[in-house]
Structure 1
Amino acid sequence: MTDHAASFPFGSLDDYNALPRIEGVALSPDGDRAVLTVATLRRDGTGYERALWEVPADGSGSARRLTRSAAGESGAVFTARGDVLFVSARPDAEAPDEDEAAQLWLLPAAGGEARAITRLAGGAGTIAACAEGVDRVVLAADLLRSALSLEDDARLRGLRRAKKVRAILHDSYPVRFWDHDLGPEQTHLFAVDPGAAGDTIEVPVADGDEEAGVGDRSPAPYPSTLPRPRDLTPHPGRSFGSGAALSPDGESLVATVSVFEGVNRRHRLVSIEVATGESTMLFDEVGVDIERPRISHDGRSLAFVRAVKSTPAAPTQQELWVSALDGSDARRIGSDWDRWPAEICFAADDASLIVVADSDGRAPLFRVPLDGGTVEQITADDFAYAHACVDVATGEVVALRSNAVTPPHPVRVHQDGSVTPLASPVPAPSHPANLVEVEAAADDGARVRGWLLLPDGASPETPAPLLLWIHGGPLSSWNAWSWRWNPNLATARGYAVLLPDPALSTGYGLAFIARGWNAWGAAPYTDLLAITDAAVARADVDAGRTAAMGGSFGGYMANWIAGHTDRFRAIVTHASLWALDQFAGTTDSAGYWKSIFTPEAMVENSPHRFVDDIRTPLLVIHGDRDYRVPVGEGLRLWSELAERFTEEDGSIVHRYLYFPDENHWILKPQHAAVWYETVFAFLDEHVRGCEPRRPEELG
């Protein structure tokens, strides 16, 4: 590390971990205030605390902190009258001392302290939907499968806790998801009326008979001073998918419901009447996913995303549809627009949708007319937008935006696409990289592009070593800031970092995705080599000192590269797919995986077949609680490397970094620091010829 690099927060992993992070934004009903969720490093450096901050939504003024607790707050939304709702495990003075479950809290717009408005034994999950016109929200929360009521759920949880039972009996697939076990709970949707919370002085009530048998003691009734959550989904199974929307009057909920078919599932839309719980099927098609509902401000229209299930033959389009709220008059809009919507919401006048979508290495805001008119791109900068909130008074949008060198920050987007930054409690860090765009022509003539981050000081006289960093997904794009995969940490250490979008990347149309479909080792691989050639052709990049790395799909590509070329001096493969036949039955999403590959292509594109051709040192990294790419992939890769490349003295040029308590992502700050230190030490050893080193924390 140079002295100059040390002046940036990215030159020190401790300084980097300590950077505050803006994770979300919510806009008040009148459009005057925005609430930011801000994460800051705990004093012991082992996690993050979250707090809510308020900023004026017009770009004036300064930030003001709203909440402060050791447990932190997240998931903020505004009620119709301007109160702020959030989820937190902060202590509730009216709850039992041992209650540490997260609950739904309300911070009054008129002032005063926040108060809990739920007391669920299993805790509150997330705020699934919020009504615009009345004070009503829908909360996602878990109940044990056989629980007959909120009180019965508390009793059953007490029984499991007292007997220290953690076993789970399954009768359906899946059993795990990303980083956690599924069951024995099931997610329910509850209607909650925050305004029904009463303020009374409660009289303490003595506990029941302490000598009663375990599980026999009746739990305390749900508090009468809190609005009792109404279960809209009394028998949910594992049914709720991505998205729910509540009508402005709070009377109708439209939710995504999953239908399971063996190891496969599809999503459909149902409408639930809040008053009665009566459910009506709106859209359901075999072989089609219908999800991510949004309801217009006037409560008359419904928007959603429809996608025919992909097969090994080809990927399919993510289609935008609108209908009446009851599902009638359904029609597709933006049919000539070849982009995939990541976020959708209704414009202020309900005549169009505001959509965020990956596009050419950015993620702009788009306007998609409901009448079938031409899609219009609203923003034209080099940023990715997220958490878009429409101001119904002005039609403008408040959102977060970021790119590879700029962390998420709040902005206001005007009707003409111009952007005003909002006040922020988080100063933008200086970064050590120059962001430039690079392109290459693929073998089939396709345009392949990416971002190149050049370290300060890179020049023809002092060319920088190159790190090819491959994104995961694979249906993804390098266009936004990532706290987990941050290239600025590498540029601070003198590396040029190439962030390419090869075949399968989003933002370039369906045909570009199709180039790598059912053939991950073909066009995605040759695209990566082509754009690497373009990068190293620059005089300020050192073609003789290169490395490659990636995680998830990027780890798959790192493994594939290792078995097909020796042009790189080092390769880092994180949470990577190695033996595709093994992976197909152990991932938490076996149905999807088996639907996008033919059996023949699964064999042809499996990296493990080329282990004997590996000539480049590999750093293998895996977390034991990774259920998307199970640790068996990393273990098998390591054992096959050890079988072939162990020296007579027992040493091996390859390395294996293992995290027993991490998942697909290495999230704990102290582990993230170890991750980066190990990666940079490995790269420095093989790319720059430095002496081997290991973090002290690894013993």
Structure 2
Amino acid sequence: MTQDTSAETPRTPFDDLDDYLALGRLGGLALSADGRRLVTTVQTLDPERTGSVSALWEIDPTGARPARRLTRSAAGESAAVFTAGGELLFTSARPDPESTGSDDEKKAALWALPADGGEARVVATTPGGVGGVLAARDADVVSLSTAVLPSADDLEADAELRTARRDTKVNAIWHTGYPVRHWDHDLGPDAPRRYAFALGDVAEGERAEPRQLTGAGRQLEEHDAALSPDGGTLVTSWAVADPGAARRTILVAIDTATGERRTLVDDPDAEIGAPTVSPDGRWVAYVTSTITTPTDPPVVRAALVALDGSGEPEVLADDWDRWPSSLTWLPDAGGLVVTADDDGRGPVFLLTFDGAPGEGPVTVERVTADDAVLTDVRVAPDGSALYALRTSYAAPSEPVRVDLAAFVASGEPGERAPVDAVALPSPVPAPELPGSLTEVVTTAADGTRVRAWLALPAGASSSDPAPLLLWIHGGPLGSWNAWSWRWNPWLMVARGYAVLLPDPALSTGYGQEFVARGWGAWGDAPFTDLMAVQDAAEARDDVDASRTAAMGGSFGGYMANWVAGHTDRFRAVVTHASLWALDGFGPTTDHAYYWAREMTPEMRDAHSPHRFVGDITTPVLVIHGDKDYRVPIGEGLRLWRELLADSGLPAADDGSTVHRFLYFPDENHWILTPQHAKVWYQGVLAFLAEHVLEVPAGEGDTVLPTTLG
């Protein structure tokens, strides 16, 4: 695919970081039970431009009317869910007009916006704040999650305990199990519990009194849940302990009237998640991912189990060599709409049961032809269409409609041609890009096809070739296939760089063997794949092979460190939140048991970048946040010290160095606040400009991107 966006190249939002950070960002999609209303969330900068705020917008499913804003408050609104009666539920920490307590206003409450318009009202509050809202399709049952302190028997006791902790300034956390941290936050002392209530029982001006469905414990940390259409059953993932301070997830069903719990799926060799209940209430589809070993990467599949517990779970389409990321039932329960990474895209697929669910083979076929990723899929109640958010490196998320009826009517299963999604009027118009997007495809040394997206600046040509920036994705189980606000190549393109976004070994969307090529051997095929696709990009006449740099974050930062120690072909390397010494990273990352499943001590030592510090002769910019629990700050601190002391490009006797360290005391694995995101890009662009564009040296916060030419 080549998409030319370079004609007349007007000034774009990517030419100025303030303009870029001010762009609206779309996320999430909710469809009403009658299919007539579609709602999304739009995130924008707050008035001080130091944070973000979100609001709900309605999109016309027919595409005839422009989007309209539904909510507005300084606290923002999110997590839209339609009830069976058409009310729109959402969470917000906006002031509660019925409350006089200032502390309540800091926690997210559950609000309801009437189907026929009018003022939103609060329907539920909890001391720990409301999240994870679900509404039954055919009943007025609502389920929510909230964090509760372990010794609290109910929400009233939880409020009293929280007040005591606050007043005595106690923030200590008592642990009896593992893990104790996740990504960017400490776990505890509270933990999620599930509740349910009937919305019809909540009179105007009153608050719901939710029934507690689950007790104390950490079984619902990061859980996935769904309600049956009649609201009688909550199906949720449920964490259980495994030997060696490990854990895995099973699937349970909970009666929303009694809280009685029963196990649906307990596979000692797999993790279970993403459940969804069929429209007839008989089946639960879910995603199963096998637990890894040092020789075996995960195998991710769709699966099916009867909601009443009869029969055995069944893996669906086991011969389909893609990993499903989401499952959505067709209205007649005759199949599932599935999303999955596929060759640098993320299309929608249709999994059709050849007979009744669980009673025969299935057919999987691609529905959408777009060179894009489709997320947040919602199927119309009559099955005629599906709605989704479409994103790619050509554009951020936008709402689209897919004519599912036309696709189904076009032929027999397995013989139908994919169709294009049609854009709906969006609350946020797509920004103009400062260049064009194309693909680079090559063959690795072992004969494997390797591909990448290449973002080219306007005007790049054989007479004016662009310097090349290799940007390596994280994960490592992932793909450069969707727009990223955190890792956005167009800001670099606007400064004249061509940006290469490759999917090396371990990337998803290319089949099981492609992942297995790099499993437990991160420095082998992933590295040689990167170098092969870099060679292919440098061979283009619109790319300047003499001016190149490499960068990456998380696993991409690991690969940037590996690249720095194994080649001197790049003028600069940028490594963000990166793994450096794997012997230290393994036991201190937030979920150490996951790491231990893949790496033996021998594999860990063979592929640890720190062993090659003496071979680093390229200037390196190290970036790390102190609150990073996935890749703890110790990795960045050790990398920085060893660069200066032991690298092939050490600090001079007077302490001066070409290396740089950009440290964020209050950020985590991601740099999330707008002002710090601006500093991040300024620092990266200044460092690259100094070494790739040969702009006079600066410290990152003093050389602004607009001066880099």
Q: Which TM-score tier does this pair reach, normalised by the shorter chain? A: over 0.9
The answer to whether residue 235 in structure 2 is matched with residue 254 in structure 1 is yes
Distance (Å, rounded) in 1 between the aligned partners of 2:686 and 2:346: 34
Distance (Å, rounded) in 2 between the aligned partners of 1:290 and 1:378: 26
Deviation at 1:296, TM superposition (A): 0.7
Distance (Å, rounded) in 1 between the aligned partners of 2:396 and 2:699: 29
Once the two structures are superposed, residues 611-670 of structure 1 have per-residue CA deviations (whole angstroms, 9 ceiling, x without a partner) of: 000010000000000000001000000011121311022101100000000000000000
Distance (Å, rounded) in 1 between the aligned partners of 2:50 and 2:703: 16
The answer to whether residue 84 in structure 2 is matched with residue 80 in structure 1 is yes
* Corresponding residue of 1:399: 388
Q: What is the letter of the counterpart of residue 166 of structure 1?
A: N
Segment of structure 1 superposing worse, 552-561 or 293-302: 293-302
SS of the equivalent of 1:425 reads: coil
Q: Residues 301-340 of structure 1: matches in 2 within 5 Å? A: 301-329=283-311, 330-340=313-323
SS of the equivalent of 1:374 reads: strand
* Corresponding residue of 1:357: 340
SS of the equivalent of 1:408 reads: strand
Distance (Å, rounded) in 2 between the aligned partners of 1:356 and 1:598: 33
Once the two structures are superposed, residues 473-522 of structure 1 have per-residue CA deviations (whole angstroms, 9 ceiling, x without a partner) of: 00000110001100011111110000000000000000000000010000
Distance (Å, rounded) in 1 between the aligned partners of 2:301 and 2:308: 19
Q: What is the letter of the counterpart of residue 278 of structure 1?
A: E
Q: What is the letter of the counterpart of residue 350 of structure 1?
A: A
Distance (Å, rounded) in 1 between the aligned partners of 2:120 and 2:51: 24
Q: What is the letter of the counterpart of residue 454 of structure 1?
A: L
Distance (Å, rounded) in 2 between the aligned partners of 1:405 and 1:617: 31
Distance (Å, rounded) in 2 between the aligned partners of 1:608 and 1:155: 50
Q: What is the letter of the counterpart of residue 116 of structure 2?
A: A
Contact 2:370 2:420 in 1 (8 A): no
Once the two structures are superposed, residues 426-468 of structure 1 have per-residue CA deviations (whole angstroms, 9 ceiling, x without a partner) of: 1111001211111111111000011011110000000000000
Distance (Å, rounded) in 1 between the aligned partners of 2:305 and 2:219: 27
Q: TM-score, normalised by structure 1?
A: 0.94
* Corresponding residue of 2:246: 264
- The gaps in structure 2 that reach 5 residues or longer are 1-5, 355-360, 408-418, 705-709
* Corresponding residue of 1:105: 111
* Corresponding residue of 2:17: 13
Deviation at 1:93, TM superposition (A): 1.0
- The gaps in structure 1 that reach 5 residues or longer are 201-224
Match of 1:156 among 161, 180, 191: 161
* Corresponding residue of 1:672: 677
SS of the equivalent of 2:692 reads: helix
Q: What is the letter of the counterpart of residue 364 of structure 1?
A: P
Deviation at 1:192, TM superposition (A): 2.8
Segment of structure 1 superposing worse, 522-531 or 308-317: 308-317
Identity %: 56
Distance (Å, rounded) in 2 between the aligned partners of 1:489 and 1:312: 38
Distance (Å, rounded) in 1 between the aligned partners of 2:114 and 2:160: 32
* Corresponding residue of 1:689: 694
Segment of structure 1 superposing worse, 292-301 or 552-561: 292-301
Distance (Å, rounded) in 1 between the aligned partners of 2:677 and 2:624: 13
Match of 1:168 among 160, 166, 173: 173
The answer to whether residue 25 in structure 2 is matched with residue 43 in structure 1 is no
Q: Structure 1 residue runs of 4+, over 6 Å off? A: none
Q: Residues 65-464 of structure 1: matches in 2 within 5 Å? A: 65-98=69-102, 99=104, 100-127=106-133, 129-200=134-205, 225-261=206-242, 262-329=244-311, 330-371=313-354, 372-415=361-404, 416=407, 417-464=419-466
SS of the equivalent of 2:115 reads: coil
Contact 2:684 2:700 in 1 (8 A): no
Q: What is the letter of the counterpart of residue 124 of structure 2?
A: T
Once the two structures are superposed, residues 248-288 of structure 1 have per-residue CA deviations (whole angstroms, 9 ceiling, x without a partner) of: 00001111001122421111011111111000111112232
Distance (Å, rounded) in 2 between the aligned partners of 1:59 and 1:342: 27
Cα 1:44/1:404, change in 2 over 3 Å: same
Q: What is the letter of the counterpart of residue 108 of structure 1?
A: P
Distance (Å, rounded) in 2 between the aligned partners of 1:125 and 1:239: 12
Match of 1:601 among 579, 600, 603: 603
Distance (Å, rounded) in 1 between the aligned partners of 2:687 and 2:55: 37
Deviation at 1:64, TM superposition (A): 1.1
Distance (Å, rounded) in 2 between the aligned partners of 1:554 and 1:696: 24
Distance (Å, rounded) in 1 between the aligned partners of 2:100 and 2:427: 35
* Corresponding residue of 2:413: none
Distance (Å, rounded) in 2 between the aligned partners of 1:374 and 1:247: 25
Match of 1:542 among 538, 541, 544: 544
Q: TM-score, normalised by structure 2?
A: 0.93
Deviation at 1:348, TM superposition (A): 2.2
Contact 1:434 1:456 in 2 (8 A): yes
SS of the equivalent of 2:124 reads: coil
Cα 1:677/1:253, change in 2 over 3 Å: same
Q: What is the letter of the counterpart of residue 231 of structure 1?
A: Q
Distance (Å, rounded) in 2 between the aligned partners of 1:20 and 1:145: 39
Q: What is the letter of the counterpart of residue 176 of structure 2?
A: D
Once the two structures are superposed, residues 144-188 of structure 1 have per-residue CA deviations (whole angstroms, 9 ceiling, x without a partner) of: 111111110000000001111111111111111000011000100
Distance (Å, rounded) in 1 between the aligned partners of 2:366 and 2:144: 34
Contact 2:682 2:703 in 1 (8 A): no
* Corresponding residue of 1:507: 509
Match of 2:499 among 497, 500, 524: 497
Contact 1:347 1:395 in 2 (8 A): no
Q: Residues 455-604 of structure 1: matches in 2 within 5 Å? A: 455-604=457-606
Once the two structures are superposed, residues 517-547 of structure 1 have per-residue CA deviations (whole angstroms, 9 ceiling, x without a partner) of: 0100000000000000000000000010000
Match of 1:648 among 645, 653, 662: 653
Distance (Å, rounded) in 2 between the aligned partners of 1:433 and 1:5: 7
SS of the equivalent of 1:36 reads: strand
Q: Residues 47-62 of structure 1: matches in 2 within 5 Å? A: 47-62=51-66
Contact 1:8 1:430 in 2 (8 A): yes
Contact 2:9 2:435 in 1 (8 A): no
* Corresponding residue of 1:208: none
SS of the equivalent of 1:91 reads: coil
SS of the equivalent of 2:566 reads: coil
SS of the equivalent of 2:636 reads: helix
Deviation at 1:5, TM superposition (A): 7.1
CA RMSD of aligned residues (A): 1.6
Deviation at 1:241, TM superposition (A): 4.3
Distance (Å, rounded) in 1 between the aligned partners of 2:336 and 2:86: 24
Deviation at 1:57, TM superposition (A): 0.7
Contact 1:503 1:516 in 2 (8 A): yes
Contact 2:625 2:665 in 1 (8 A): yes
* Corresponding residue of 1:210: none
* Corresponding residue of 2:410: none
